[in-house]
Amino acid sequence: MTVRWGLIGASTIARQFVINAIRAQGDGEVVAVMSSSPERANTYAGENGIPRGVSALADLLGAGVDAVYISTTNELHLEQALAAIEAGKHVLCEKPLALTSADARKMVAAANAAGVVLGTNHHLRNAGAHRAMREAIAAGRIGKPIAARVFHSVFLPENLQGWRISRPEAGGGVVLDITVHDADTLRFVLGDDPVEISAFTQSVGMAGSGLEDGAMCIWRFKSGVIAQSHEGFTTKFAGTGFEVHGSEGSLFATNVMTQKPVGSVLLRTGAGEEELSFDREDLYARSLRQFHAAIRGEGRPSATGEDGVWSLAAAEAALQSAKSGKAVTIDPKLGSAA
């Protein structure tokens, strides 16, 4: 059975990665795209070989689609996801799922009630590097995990210096953009959940309107592991990385907080140093493959709706901490969607 996809949002991420990832599936087809502007919908459809461009959500949902991929600005995800779920469509939604974890929980509840698949497009847990680290930790290769460090401060490309740095109401800012990914990747690699976070944020000149363009977070996990993460839009030369240090060894991953299947992972123990080998499958293609399998009833999306609630609850807590100057408890059940 072919999965017929409708794109909600004529976005950069769909054009750069997700349309190709859908088409990389033997059973995936993009049948329509929706933009708020009819002109942009048609131009985008033409440029990307998509049969239909529409400007009303009802038209997209009525275009014979089985699943939708939502990659509009963040304030629109909730309403669009709920409408798609109500129409019986499976939903792969970009992060953050919504502007609050309470709203994200509404999406999860609606998808569960409707019996459709809801996934969060946290691409990083699909990277071979992160899966190799998770497996090494789970296999006890670093002994008992003690601490982690995430280096995820980048330079926001000029073509993306729009709503992320100017529109708080659209969910701009580095915390909703990048800290959510770090939350998800830490949870995935460590196989653990964060319980508390303390954050400092800054605005060094790129972001306006009260938005932050840099953040440093300190995390505590259920197991007692502590972590630090650095997210930024303004550092051109920082590079990215992910380290986990345990009682018997350390993992050093370099150039792995990225959209491409690149980077390296070094394991250092008493026995010496070993480069871990891992597959180089496209991150988004793997995400789509897992999503298609979940539609067939085989397993779950690589990041579920619940995972999206977790990452948003963590980002929310980071923003509260930055504002209050106090450590904040992370509890995805807070702000229940009741």
CB of 3 to ligand NDP, least distance (A): 19
Catalogue the E-assigned strands of 144-193.
145-153
Please, which residue, 142 or 183, has the CB nearer to ligand NDP? 183
Separation between Cα atoms, residue 204 and residue 165, nearest integer Å = 11
Please, which residue, 196 or 307, has the CB nearer to ligand NDP? 307
CB of 269 to ligand NDP, least distance (A): 32
Binding site for ligand NDP (CB under 6 A): 9-13, 35-37, 40, 71-74, 94-95, 121, 123, 160, 162, 177, 259
Please, which residue, 89 or 164, has the CB nearer to ligand NDP? 164
Contact 202, 194 (CB under 8 A): no
Please, which residue, 246 or 305, has the CB nearer to ligand NDP? 305
CB of 76 to ligand NDP, least distance (A): 8
What DSSP string describes 232-299?
ESB-SS---EEEEEESSEEEEEES-SSSSS--EEEEEETTEEEEEP-----HHHHHHHHHHHHHTTSS
Contact 127, 288 (CB under 8 A): no
CB of 143 to ligand NDP, least distance (A): 32
Q: Strand 226-232 vs strand 145-153: parallel, antiparallel, or unpaired?
A: parallel
Please, which residue, 10 or 317, has the CB nearer to ligand NDP? 10
Element spanning 5, H or E: strand 3-8
CB of 117 to ligand NDP, least distance (A): 17
